[in-house]
Amino acid sequence: MRVLGIETSCDETGIAIYDEANGLLANQLYSQVKLHADYGGVVPELASRDHVRKTVPLIQAALKEAGLQAQDIDAVAYTAGPGLVGALLVGATIGRSLAFAWDVPAIPVHHMEGHLLAPMLEDNPPAFPFVALLVSGGHTQLISVTGIGEYTLMGESVDDAAGEAFDKTAKLLGLDYPGGPMLSKMAQQGVEKRFVFPRPMTDRPGLDFSFSGLKTFAANTIRENSEDPQTRADIARAFEDAVVDTLAIKCKRALEQTGFKRLVIAGGVSANRTLRSKMAEVMKARGGEVFYARPEFCTDNGAMIAYAGLVRLKGGSRAALSVTVRPRWPLAELPGLE
């Protein structure tokens, strides 16, 4: 069974073909980073228009890469939410139309379930149950996962997501958009503990996060100190260490509450090297395991949508003929599999 996956939730156009027997057959990705860089962030209307231009050519490229024709596709999966409504509508409309034209099922996929299941694309996929940390530019959530669609939200950010805080702090440091990866690279040159930032909401019970105050602390530190490159690197190091430590502390609490031995970290920020190293230490000390997707599958991509689409297809999911997207869509609302 082969599924074509379409991802257009924000500023990446991702197309992939996943085969149940042979794995990933094609993976095409176009990033809009250069398009939005001049504006310092994603411009929704420009994102939607670029998806219109890129989606069909990338589908054609994916079919060519896989050596397949339209009649070889058994279902079309597309991101139906959450995300930018205009961007979602592009992928959903194209995906639903192709499924109708090819007379195959259309599968609406939850973007965050795609991220959560991305580690399943690897050679050593995690078994259920596990704690999942979904950490990206739009989300920071801790979820208890006992099966497909069996998701219990344990904690989430009450303001900025971790990835959003990375990008905003990078901008304060004078880095170009998207600044999160550039801040992490700068932090590698920083001196540890020259600056010490707070670990927000770790001095109280609970699993929620808050990163807006940390961003403000960074802004004040930048304003009060010299602008030489080493100082900026030291501030970047302090900020990254604070975010990573905060995530680690909350993950440990979630693991203690559930008693689970497996931790999955997914979403764009899961590619961060410091975070990966820290979580490896945490899980080794606990006698558990940590799982990630490869870096190219941490950010938005079509492969995770194709895989999640296959899982949902086998569980009986089908889209109606109408095109429906959900810019806001709580993960906990997804049904489990029969």
Beta strand 75-81 pairing with 106-110 = parallel
Rounded Cα distance between 112 and 134, Å, is 8
Give the E-state strand segments of 85-177 in sequence order: 106-110, 130-135, 140-147, 150-156
Q: Is 137 within any annotated ligand binding site?
A: yes
Q: Is 138 within any annotated ligand binding site?
A: yes
23 forms beta bridges with: 19
Rounded Cα distance between 144 and 250, Å, is 13
Q: For residue 169, what are the CA distances in angstroms to 183, 184, 227?
A: 8, 11, 15
Q: Is 111 within any annotated ligand binding site?
A: yes
Rounded Cα distance between 267 and 265, Å, is 7
Which is nearest to 215 in space by CA: 181, 191, 243, 234?
Answer: 243
Q: Is 135 within any annotated ligand binding site?
A: yes
Q: Is 136 within any annotated ligand binding site?
A: yes
Mapping DSSP to helix (H, G, I), strand (E, B) and coil, where does residue 130 land? strand
Q: Is 300 within any annotated ligand binding site?
A: yes
For residue 49, give every residue at least 6 positions away whose Cβ sits within 8 Å of its Cβ, in sequence order, or none: none
Q: Is 139 within any annotated ligand binding site?
A: no
Q: List the binding residues for Fe cation.
A: 111, 115, 300
Residue stretches of the annotated binding site for substrate: 134-138, 167, 180, 272
Provide the annotated binding site: 111, 115, 134-138, 167, 180, 272, 300
